[in-house]
A and B are shown apart, each in its own frame.
Chain A
Amino acid sequence: MIDVRELKKDYVEEEEIPTRALRGVTFSINKGEFVSIMGPSGSGKSTLLHILSFLDRPTEGSYKFQGKSIDEMTDQELAHVRNKDMGFVFQSFNLLSRLTVYDNVEIPLLYSDISPLKRRECIENAVKSVGLPEKLYTEAGKLSGGQKQRIAIARALVIDPNVIFADEPTGNLDSESGLQVMKILESLHDKGRTIILVTHETQTAEFANRVIKIKDGMIESDKTINTNRYYNGNLK
């Protein structure tokens, strides 16, 4: 599903020496995998996630998503793939606080070719799958942190994507809410979805069945692990 070869990324500020965030990264991710990308701050893990999720382009190297190279795609095509095949969960939720849960979850559908008649069903199913059907018409700003992240997951699911990218999804949550969110992601993986998670928390990373560790823009390790799913009920 995902195949990267010698991926490099430079950030060039005006009249300054380029900063190399990725220094030649190579790996593949198969459909249905749950992969954690770990690393300390500044290691390049977020840069890698941005490239994998089509929000940014690499400076060098190749990246093929579902067999098609990113170099062959226009910005418009990238936006189309992001909408159709990718779901996003952010650390800071990125919900529009004055809109209802329904309106927030609807956002990806606005840019899809799903008919307005089918949207309601998609939204209700997505919100139901994260266990918050009663909050459908609640303003997003009035939800707790954990509820917000669950709604953000519903927004990522609503389009039925092949892969979900989660950038530090438990970073702004208490341990109980974090555990709930991770259980939802795990159940999505169990249903066959590919999950790619960026985190610096070891226990969160261990929900995945594969952990890629990044350091100074390079892969330090890439290991398949036996998941220790419940951590005795605690994440931290």
Chain B
Amino acid sequence: MTFRDAFKTATRSLTQGKMRSTLTVLGIVIGIASVITLMSLGASAQKYILDQVQSFGTDLISINPGAPTKGPPAAVQGIIIKTLNERDVHSLENEPSILNVAARVSGQAIISNGDTNRSVIWHAFSPVGFTMFNMSLSGGTVFTEAGGEAYRKVVILGSQVAEDLFGDVNPVGKNVRLKDLTFRVVGVFAPKGVGILSFDDYVVLPLSVGQKQMLGIDYYHEMNVQIDPRYDTEFVKSRISSVLRQNHHITDPDKDDFMITSMEEALSIVESITSALTLFLSAIAAISLVVGGIGIMNIMLVAVTERTREIGLRKAVGATDKDILKQFLIESVLLTLIGGIIGVAIGAGVVGLIYFVLSTFFSIGWVFAFPISSVILGLAVSGIAGIVFGIYPARQAARKNPIDALRYE
């Protein structure tokens, strides 16, 4: 029996029971659509996060206090380490491979405008941070060293904070209270929408004000370094290490009290986390594919029983075991492939709908990602599911004795 004839026979059998065929492929449709949707959303989320991180600049290196560990940083664990200080900033500024150094401290406080108040996270850094982090304003100006504002109680509000405190009124030039201190608003950040590095819900203060008046400390929570593009990142990292070891009197590199992370490393970490998450979610969705496959096997077994006489007849008029196996296997692969194609189409529809909703109603700069690899994977997996779950019923059919099959009632 040629493949063409086997294909024609299988198609004819499937179209004879349209409702049954439709219900049978439903499990595969749901499984493939789920896997495709999650893989595409994972790819979109990864690209969205990476784009945001990259928008901060890929030429940045961050230095955090605390010994390098495989776990979370010391600050995240609530451990206060006071090792990064002003001397470190000055030493790094003198390095030829480093263009800029911005130290940072942060905290949380209640911010208020008259009776209107809300909780806010504030960051304090030197004016050079605005250019290093590619930050733009929708109104007002950033504070600068030249104007002396970098040492005064001035604040730049995130767009959401400005809206919560002032509504439609322009807050530039107005005063706000932050931890019982009065600050003059000099600018408002341009809105960025929802995102991990959006400043919409933050406020930014001058470094000295945050460090001395808000916290009363003489160390920094973090330092960010912008490297000269003529130098290799690894070289700059080694220079930073030797400068800080010298300043901190460290002779054994295993006893470093700081961690250096380049933006490239951060991107790679984000990439691996999002990839692992996507894979994990896709694996969960794949369970529904297995359930769908078992449904196919079940229906195919029923079909083999119902068509026992047909199998007997085909064998009597010359079909070999291989011909019968081929016919039933093609039927199950056709079912799962049709399910796979519909599943891919539905998956693409769902991904498109999510993109539309997020970008239209939530102003999120979501990226429409529908990788061709997920389409190929979806179709390949559905085809393989057809073989895996169809082979047992097909072998049952092929092994039937023609005499018994012809006598089957």
Contact = CB atoms under 8 A, between A and B. Distances in A.
Interface stretch (A108-116, A142-150, A171-179, A222-230): A108-116
Interface residues of B, number: 23
Contacts of B16: 98
Nearest to B9: A110
Contacts of A75: 320-321
B315 A50 contact: no
A236 interface: no
Interface string A51-63: 0010110000000
Contacts of B320: 75-76, 79, 111
B323 A111 contact: yes
A108 B12 contact: no
A88 B317 CA distance: 7
Contacts of B4: 116
Interface in A77-110: 79-80, 82-84, 88, 90, 94, 96, 98-99, 103, 107-108, 110
Interface residues of A, number: 26
A45 interface: no
B403 A79 contact: no
A49 B314 CA distance: 18
A186 to B, nearest CB: 23
B1, B16, B312, B313: most-surrounded residue (chain A CB, <10 A) = B313
A8 interface: no
A193 interface: no
Contacts of A53: 316
Contacts of B316: 53, 55, 82, 88, 94
B1 A56 contact: no
B234 interface: no
A155 interface: yes
Contacts of A103: 12
Interface string B317-331: 111111100000000
A110 B321 CA distance: 14
B228 interface: no
A84 B402 CA distance: 17
A158 B406 CA distance: 20
B403 A107 contact: no
Contacts of B319: 79, 110-111
Q: Which of A53, A56, A79, A155 has the most CB of B within 10 A?
A: A79
B92 to A, nearest CB: 80
A84 B320 CA distance: 13
A58 B309 CA distance: 23
Contacts of B402: 55
A197 to B, nearest CB: 16
Nearest to B309: A94
Interface in B286-341: 309-310, 312-323
Given A55-B402, A76-B320, A98-B16, A110 B315 contact: no
B237 to A, nearest CB: 70
Contacts of A90: 313, 406
A80 B1 CA distance: 11
Contacts, number: 57
A195 B320 CA distance: 24
A83 B323 CA distance: 13
Contacts of A83: 317-318
B254 interface: no
Contact of B317 (A98, A99, A155): A155
A111 B313 CA distance: 12
B86 interface: no
A196 to B, nearest CB: 14
B249 to A, nearest CB: 86
Interface string B1-45: 100110001001000100000000000000000000000000000
Nearest to A94: B313
A56 B403 CA distance: 8
A107 B321 contact: no
Contacts of A155: 317
A50 B318 CA distance: 14
Contacts of A84: 318
Nearest to A47: B403
Q: Count chain A CB atoms within 10 A of each CB in B312, B313, B317 and give the residue with the most.
A: B317
A107 B316 CA distance: 11
A53 B315 CA distance: 12
B18 to A, nearest CB: 12
Contacts of A80: 318
B214 to A, nearest CB: 82
A159 B406 CA distance: 20
A108 B312 contact: no
A79 B317 CA distance: 8
Contacts of A98: 16
Contact of A111 (B310, B318, B403): B318
Interface of B: 1, 4-5, 9, 12, 16, 309-310, 312-323, 402-403, 406
5 contacts: A56-B403, A82-B318, A94-B309, A94-B312, A112-B318
Nearest 10 A/B pairs, CB to CB: A83-B318, A111-B318, A108-B317, A94-B313, A79-B320, A110-B5, A98-B16, A82-B318, A55-B402, A111-B319
